[in-house]
Copies of this chain bind each other. A is one copy, B any other.
Amino acid sequence: MDVAIIGGTGYGAVELLRFLHNHPHVQVKKVISHSNSGTELAEVYPHVVDIIDIQMAELDVDSLAQEVELVFFATPSNVSKNIIPTLVDKGVRCIDLSGDFRLQDGEKYQTYYGEEIASQTYIEKAVYGLPEVNKEAIKHASILANPGCYPTATTLGLIPSIEQELVDRSSIIVDAKTGVSGAGRSLSLNVHFSEMNENFKAYKIGVHKHIPEIEQILSERANGDIQVIFTPHIVPMTRGIMSTIYVDMKDNYSTKQLIDVYQAYFQDHPFVRVRREGVFPSTKEVYGSNYCDIGLYADERTGKLIIVSVIDNLVKGASGQAIQNMNIMYGWEETTGLDQLPIYP
Protein backbone atom coordinates (compact mmCIF):
# COMPACT_ATOMS: atom_id res chain seq x y z
CA MET A 1 0.00 0.00 0.00
CA ASP A 2 1.29 3.44 -0.88
CA VAL A 3 1.27 6.15 1.76
CA ALA A 4 2.51 9.73 2.08
CA ILE A 5 3.84 11.75 4.97
CA ILE A 6 3.25 15.48 5.24
CA GLY A 7 5.65 17.41 7.49
CA GLY A 8 8.83 15.71 6.37
CA THR A 9 11.39 17.58 8.41
CA GLY A 10 9.94 17.02 11.86
CA TYR A 11 10.74 14.27 14.32
CA GLY A 12 7.27 12.80 13.88
CA ALA A 13 7.91 12.18 10.19
CA VAL A 14 11.32 10.68 10.73
CA GLU A 15 9.96 8.22 13.29
CA LEU A 16 7.15 7.25 10.91
CA LEU A 17 9.81 6.51 8.31
CA ARG A 18 11.70 4.33 10.79
CA PHE A 19 8.70 2.13 11.51
CA LEU A 20 7.35 2.09 7.96
CA HIS A 21 10.78 1.02 6.71
CA ASN A 22 10.21 -2.35 8.40
CA HIS A 23 6.49 -2.59 7.74
CA PRO A 24 5.62 -5.47 5.40
CA HIS A 25 2.48 -3.97 3.86
CA VAL A 26 3.32 -0.33 3.30
CA GLN A 27 5.58 1.76 1.12
CA VAL A 28 6.23 5.47 1.60
CA LYS A 29 5.60 6.95 -1.80
CA LYS A 30 5.92 10.63 -0.97
CA VAL A 31 7.32 12.85 1.73
CA ILE A 32 5.88 16.34 1.59
CA SER A 33 7.71 19.30 3.09
CA HIS A 34 6.87 22.88 2.39
CA SER A 35 10.13 24.22 3.79
CA ASN A 36 12.35 21.61 2.13
CA SER A 37 10.66 20.65 -1.10
CA GLY A 38 13.20 19.66 -3.70
CA THR A 39 15.72 18.56 -1.06
CA GLU A 40 16.81 14.97 -0.57
CA LEU A 41 15.56 13.61 2.73
CA ALA A 42 19.10 12.40 3.48
CA GLU A 43 20.37 15.99 3.31
CA VAL A 44 18.12 16.91 6.20
CA TYR A 45 18.46 13.58 8.02
CA PRO A 46 21.87 12.09 7.22
CA HIS A 47 21.11 8.94 9.22
CA VAL A 48 19.01 7.66 6.28
CA VAL A 49 21.68 8.26 3.63
CA ASP A 50 22.10 5.30 1.25
CA ILE A 51 18.94 3.74 2.74
CA ILE A 52 16.02 6.01 1.92
CA ASP A 53 16.21 7.76 -1.41
CA ILE A 54 13.36 10.26 -1.44
CA GLN A 55 13.28 13.84 -2.59
CA MET A 56 10.86 15.89 -0.58
CA ALA A 57 8.04 17.42 -2.56
CA GLU A 58 5.64 20.33 -2.38
CA LEU A 59 2.05 19.45 -1.52
CA ASP A 60 -0.29 18.93 -4.48
CA VAL A 61 -3.52 17.60 -3.05
CA ASP A 62 -4.96 16.37 -6.35
CA SER A 63 -2.03 14.29 -7.45
CA LEU A 64 -1.46 13.08 -3.91
CA ALA A 65 -5.01 11.73 -3.79
CA GLN A 66 -4.29 9.68 -6.86
CA GLU A 67 -0.97 8.37 -5.71
CA VAL A 68 -1.63 7.16 -2.19
CA GLU A 69 -4.34 5.56 -0.10
CA LEU A 70 -3.34 6.99 3.24
CA VAL A 71 -1.69 10.22 4.37
CA PHE A 72 0.07 10.82 7.69
CA PHE A 73 0.10 14.41 8.92
CA ALA A 74 3.13 15.18 11.08
CA THR A 75 2.49 18.88 10.86
CA PRO A 76 2.31 21.73 13.39
CA SER A 77 -1.04 22.80 14.81
CA ASN A 78 -3.56 24.41 12.49
CA VAL A 79 -2.23 22.93 9.26
CA SER A 80 -4.02 19.63 8.75
CA LYS A 81 -7.47 21.09 9.38
CA ASN A 82 -7.18 22.93 6.08
CA ILE A 83 -6.03 19.94 4.02
CA ILE A 84 -7.64 16.83 5.45
CA PRO A 85 -11.23 17.68 4.41
CA THR A 86 -10.24 17.81 0.74
CA LEU A 87 -8.27 14.57 0.93
CA VAL A 88 -11.02 12.75 2.75
CA ASP A 89 -13.56 13.91 0.19
CA LYS A 90 -11.34 12.37 -2.47
CA GLY A 91 -11.37 9.06 -0.62
CA VAL A 92 -7.97 9.25 1.04
CA ARG A 93 -7.81 8.16 4.67
CA CYS A 94 -5.81 10.47 6.96
CA ILE A 95 -3.95 9.91 10.22
CA ASP A 96 -3.29 13.21 11.91
CA LEU A 97 -0.48 13.38 14.47
CA SER A 98 -1.28 17.02 15.19
CA GLY A 99 -4.05 18.20 17.49
CA ASP A 100 -6.39 19.65 14.86
CA PHE A 101 -9.06 16.94 15.04
CA ARG A 102 -8.71 15.79 18.64
CA LEU A 103 -11.04 18.21 20.42
CA GLN A 104 -14.76 18.24 19.84
CA ASP A 105 -15.41 21.55 21.51
CA GLY A 106 -14.72 24.47 19.19
CA GLU A 107 -14.45 26.97 21.99
CA LYS A 108 -11.77 25.03 23.79
CA TYR A 109 -9.92 24.56 20.51
CA GLN A 110 -10.00 28.31 20.02
CA THR A 111 -8.69 28.90 23.54
CA TYR A 112 -5.85 26.41 23.47
CA TYR A 113 -4.92 26.37 19.77
CA GLY A 114 -5.53 30.05 19.04
CA GLU A 115 -7.54 29.50 15.85
CA GLU A 116 -10.97 28.32 14.76
CA ILE A 117 -11.59 24.59 14.85
CA ALA A 118 -11.98 22.51 11.64
CA SER A 119 -15.44 22.40 10.15
CA GLN A 120 -17.96 20.49 12.21
CA THR A 121 -18.64 17.83 9.54
CA TYR A 122 -15.06 16.67 9.67
CA ILE A 123 -14.69 16.97 13.41
CA GLU A 124 -17.59 14.56 13.64
CA LYS A 125 -15.96 12.17 11.22
CA ALA A 126 -12.73 12.15 13.25
CA VAL A 127 -12.03 9.16 15.48
CA TYR A 128 -9.78 9.60 18.50
CA GLY A 129 -7.08 6.99 18.04
CA LEU A 130 -6.37 5.55 21.45
CA PRO A 131 -6.48 1.86 20.44
CA GLU A 132 -6.75 0.53 23.97
CA VAL A 133 -10.22 2.06 24.36
CA ASN A 134 -11.40 2.83 20.88
CA LYS A 135 -10.46 -0.06 18.63
CA GLU A 136 -13.79 -0.64 16.95
CA ALA A 137 -14.26 2.94 15.86
CA ILE A 138 -10.68 3.15 14.64
CA LYS A 139 -11.25 0.32 12.16
CA HIS A 140 -13.56 2.45 10.09
CA ALA A 141 -12.01 5.88 10.55
CA SER A 142 -11.42 8.10 7.58
CA ILE A 143 -9.92 10.80 9.80
CA LEU A 144 -7.88 9.40 12.62
CA ALA A 145 -6.94 11.92 15.32
CA ASN A 146 -3.79 10.43 16.78
CA PRO A 147 -3.56 11.26 20.51
CA GLY A 148 -1.08 13.69 22.02
CA CYS A 149 1.93 12.36 23.91
CA TYR A 150 0.92 13.51 27.40
CA PRO A 151 -2.71 12.41 26.93
CA THR A 152 -1.58 8.92 25.91
CA ALA A 153 0.60 8.33 28.96
CA THR A 154 -1.86 10.02 31.28
CA THR A 155 -5.15 8.53 30.21
CA LEU A 156 -3.82 4.98 29.89
CA GLY A 157 -2.68 5.36 33.49
CA LEU A 158 -6.08 6.57 34.65
CA ILE A 159 -8.75 4.87 32.56
CA PRO A 160 -9.07 1.55 34.44
CA SER A 161 -9.48 3.40 37.74
CA ILE A 162 -11.95 5.86 36.26
CA GLU A 163 -14.06 3.37 34.39
CA GLN A 164 -14.30 1.02 37.33
CA GLU A 165 -15.01 3.94 39.66
CA LEU A 166 -12.21 3.15 42.05
CA VAL A 167 -11.16 6.76 42.46
CA ASP A 168 -12.56 10.18 43.15
CA ARG A 169 -12.91 11.96 39.81
CA SER A 170 -12.49 15.40 41.32
CA SER A 171 -9.03 14.90 42.74
CA ILE A 172 -6.85 14.18 39.71
CA ILE A 173 -3.40 15.72 39.64
CA VAL A 174 -1.00 14.94 36.82
CA ASP A 175 2.64 15.88 37.20
CA ALA A 176 4.14 15.13 33.77
CA LYS A 177 7.72 15.12 32.51
CA THR A 178 8.88 14.95 28.93
CA GLY A 179 12.12 14.55 27.07
CA VAL A 180 13.18 17.46 24.89
CA SER A 181 12.21 15.93 21.54
CA GLY A 182 8.63 16.71 22.49
CA ALA A 183 9.47 20.30 21.62
CA GLY A 184 10.23 19.28 18.05
CA ARG A 185 13.01 20.37 15.75
CA SER A 186 12.21 24.09 15.66
CA LEU A 187 14.94 26.16 17.24
CA SER A 188 14.29 27.94 20.52
CA LEU A 189 16.45 29.21 23.34
CA ASN A 190 14.47 27.03 25.67
CA VAL A 191 15.88 23.85 24.14
CA HIS A 192 19.27 25.21 23.10
CA PHE A 193 21.69 22.57 24.38
CA SER A 194 23.62 24.80 26.82
CA GLU A 195 20.38 26.09 28.33
CA MET A 196 18.62 22.74 28.61
CA ASN A 197 21.46 20.40 29.52
CA GLU A 198 21.88 19.88 33.27
CA ASN A 199 18.58 21.66 33.77
CA PHE A 200 15.02 20.75 34.73
CA LYS A 201 12.12 23.08 33.99
CA ALA A 202 8.40 23.44 34.52
CA TYR A 203 6.55 25.16 31.68
CA LYS A 204 3.09 26.20 30.48
CA ILE A 205 1.64 25.60 33.92
CA GLY A 206 -2.14 25.66 33.72
CA VAL A 207 -2.28 26.49 30.02
CA HIS A 208 -0.93 23.48 28.10
CA LYS A 209 -3.07 22.44 25.12
CA HIS A 210 -3.15 18.83 26.27
CA ILE A 211 -5.31 19.76 29.26
CA PRO A 212 -8.63 19.84 27.33
CA GLU A 213 -7.63 16.67 25.47
CA ILE A 214 -7.00 14.74 28.68
CA GLU A 215 -10.21 16.07 30.19
CA GLN A 216 -12.25 15.16 27.12
CA ILE A 217 -11.08 11.55 27.07
CA LEU A 218 -11.47 11.04 30.79
CA SER A 219 -14.89 12.68 30.83
CA GLU A 220 -16.03 10.33 28.09
CA ARG A 221 -14.81 7.28 29.99
CA ALA A 222 -16.43 8.57 33.18
CA ASN A 223 -19.68 9.68 31.59
CA GLY A 224 -19.30 12.93 33.45
CA ASP A 225 -17.18 16.03 33.64
CA ILE A 226 -13.63 15.61 34.81
CA GLN A 227 -11.11 18.34 35.44
CA VAL A 228 -7.42 17.70 35.90
CA ILE A 229 -4.52 19.68 37.25
CA PHE A 230 -1.75 19.13 34.73
CA THR A 231 1.80 20.43 35.08
CA PRO A 232 4.31 19.62 32.36
CA HIS A 233 8.08 19.64 32.92
CA ILE A 234 11.00 19.17 30.60
CA VAL A 235 13.84 16.74 31.37
CA PRO A 236 17.40 16.97 29.97
CA MET A 237 17.07 13.86 27.80
CA THR A 238 15.84 13.37 24.26
CA ARG A 239 13.05 10.82 24.58
CA GLY A 240 10.56 9.67 27.17
CA ILE A 241 7.50 10.82 29.07
CA MET A 242 6.50 10.02 32.60
CA SER A 243 3.15 11.01 34.03
CA THR A 244 3.02 10.74 37.79
CA ILE A 245 -0.63 10.79 38.70
CA TYR A 246 -2.25 11.39 42.10
CA VAL A 247 -5.84 10.49 42.80
CA ASP A 248 -7.92 9.70 45.90
CA MET A 249 -9.06 6.11 46.24
CA LYS A 250 -12.71 5.54 47.05
CA ASP A 251 -11.86 2.63 49.28
CA ASN A 252 -8.87 1.19 51.03
CA TYR A 253 -7.55 -0.85 48.10
CA SER A 254 -4.20 -2.56 48.26
CA THR A 255 -1.59 -2.06 45.56
CA LYS A 256 -2.01 -5.72 44.65
CA GLN A 257 -5.75 -5.35 44.08
CA LEU A 258 -5.26 -2.40 41.79
CA ILE A 259 -2.53 -4.12 39.80
CA ASP A 260 -4.92 -7.02 39.25
CA VAL A 261 -7.56 -4.64 37.94
CA TYR A 262 -5.09 -2.99 35.57
CA GLN A 263 -3.63 -6.24 34.30
CA ALA A 264 -7.08 -7.59 33.59
CA TYR A 265 -8.07 -4.37 31.85
CA PHE A 266 -5.09 -4.40 29.52
CA GLN A 267 -4.69 -8.13 29.02
CA ASP A 268 -5.63 -8.04 25.33
CA HIS A 269 -3.62 -4.92 24.62
CA PRO A 270 -0.12 -5.86 23.58
CA PHE A 271 1.46 -2.45 24.14
CA VAL A 272 0.48 -1.83 27.75
CA ARG A 273 2.55 -3.53 30.43
CA VAL A 274 1.44 -3.28 34.05
CA ARG A 275 4.33 -3.86 36.42
CA ARG A 276 4.24 -6.07 39.46
CA GLU A 277 4.02 -4.68 43.01
CA GLY A 278 7.00 -2.65 44.16
CA VAL A 279 8.32 -1.99 40.67
CA PHE A 280 7.94 1.28 38.79
CA PRO A 281 8.84 1.72 35.15
CA SER A 282 11.48 4.22 34.10
CA THR A 283 11.33 5.98 30.74
CA LYS A 284 14.36 4.15 29.34
CA GLU A 285 12.54 0.84 29.65
CA VAL A 286 10.29 1.81 26.72
CA TYR A 287 12.91 3.75 24.71
CA GLY A 288 12.30 3.57 20.97
CA SER A 289 9.32 1.24 21.43
CA ASN A 290 5.52 1.48 21.37
CA TYR A 291 5.02 0.30 24.95
CA CYS A 292 3.21 2.14 27.71
CA ASP A 293 4.41 0.81 31.07
CA ILE A 294 2.43 1.42 34.23
CA GLY A 295 3.33 1.12 37.91
CA LEU A 296 0.90 1.53 40.80
CA TYR A 297 1.20 2.40 44.47
CA ALA A 298 -1.74 2.54 46.85
CA ASP A 299 -0.62 4.68 49.77
CA GLU A 300 -2.56 3.35 52.73
CA ARG A 301 -1.33 6.14 54.99
CA THR A 302 -3.00 8.87 52.92
CA GLY A 303 -5.55 7.04 50.79
CA LYS A 304 -3.92 8.22 47.58
CA LEU A 305 -3.32 6.11 44.53
CA ILE A 306 -0.07 7.05 42.79
CA ILE A 307 0.21 5.98 39.16
CA VAL A 308 3.44 6.09 37.18
CA SER A 309 2.93 5.79 33.42
CA VAL A 310 5.76 5.99 30.89
CA ILE A 311 5.98 6.03 27.10
CA ASP A 312 8.45 7.08 24.44
CA ASN A 313 6.91 10.39 23.44
CA LEU A 314 7.88 9.95 19.78
CA VAL A 315 6.58 6.37 19.55
CA LYS A 316 3.51 5.49 21.64
CA GLY A 317 3.15 9.26 22.05
CA ALA A 318 3.17 9.92 18.30
CA SER A 319 4.44 7.88 15.35
CA GLY A 320 4.30 4.38 16.81
CA GLN A 321 0.71 4.85 17.87
CA ALA A 322 -0.04 6.18 14.38
CA ILE A 323 1.29 2.94 12.90
CA GLN A 324 -0.70 0.95 15.45
CA ASN A 325 -3.81 2.85 14.36
CA MET A 326 -3.03 2.25 10.69
CA ASN A 327 -2.70 -1.47 11.39
CA ILE A 328 -6.14 -1.48 12.98
CA MET A 329 -7.66 0.61 10.17
CA TYR A 330 -6.48 -1.90 7.58
CA GLY A 331 -7.17 -5.07 9.52
CA TRP A 332 -3.55 -6.02 10.02
CA GLU A 333 -2.11 -7.43 13.22
CA GLU A 334 -1.93 -4.52 15.67
CA THR A 335 1.80 -5.01 16.29
CA THR A 336 2.88 -5.20 12.63
CA GLY A 337 6.11 -3.24 12.17
CA LEU A 338 6.16 -2.36 15.85
CA ASP A 339 7.48 -5.55 17.39
CA GLN A 340 11.00 -4.35 18.13
CA LEU A 341 12.33 -4.45 21.67
CA PRO A 342 13.01 -1.20 23.47
CA ILE A 343 16.63 -0.22 22.90
CA TYR A 344 18.58 -0.59 26.12
CA PRO A 345 20.82 0.83 27.38
Could you tell me which A residues sit within 8 Å of B by CB distance?
Answer: 11, 14, 17-18, 21-22, 45-52, 173, 175, 177, 179-181, 183, 185, 187-189, 191-203, 205-206, 227, 229, 231, 233, 235-240, 242, 244, 246, 273, 275, 279-289, 293, 295, 297, 299, 301-302, 304, 306, 308, 310, 339-345
A177 touches B233 (CB 8 A): yes
**From B173, B205, B240, B340, contact of A200 by CB (8 A):** B240
Give the Cβ gap from A286 to chain B, nearest Cβ, in Å.
Answer: 7
In the complex, besides A187-B189, A191-B192, A197-B237, 17 extra interface pairs with C-beta distance below 8 angstroms are A18-B340, A18-B343, A21-B339, A22-B339, A47-B287, A47-B344, A179-B200, A181-B194, A181-B345, A187-B188, A187-B192, A198-B239, A205-B297, A205-B306, A206-B297, A235-B235, A288-B288
B48 touches A341 (CB 8 A): yes
Chain B residues within 8 Å of A51, by CB: 341
24 contacts between A and B (CB under 8 A): A18-B340, A22-B340, A45-B344, A47-B286, A51-B341, A175-B244, A183-B194, A185-B189, A185-B192, A187-B189, A193-B196, A193-B238, A194-B238, A195-B345, A197-B197, A198-B237, A198-B284, A200-B240, A200-B283, A201-B280, A202-B282, A202-B295, A205-B306, A206-B297
B236 touches A235 (CB 8 A): yes
Q: Complex Cα distance A195/B310, Å?
A: 16
B47 touches A285 (CB 8 A): yes
Give the Cβ gap from A7 to chain B, nearest Cβ, in Å.
Answer: 15
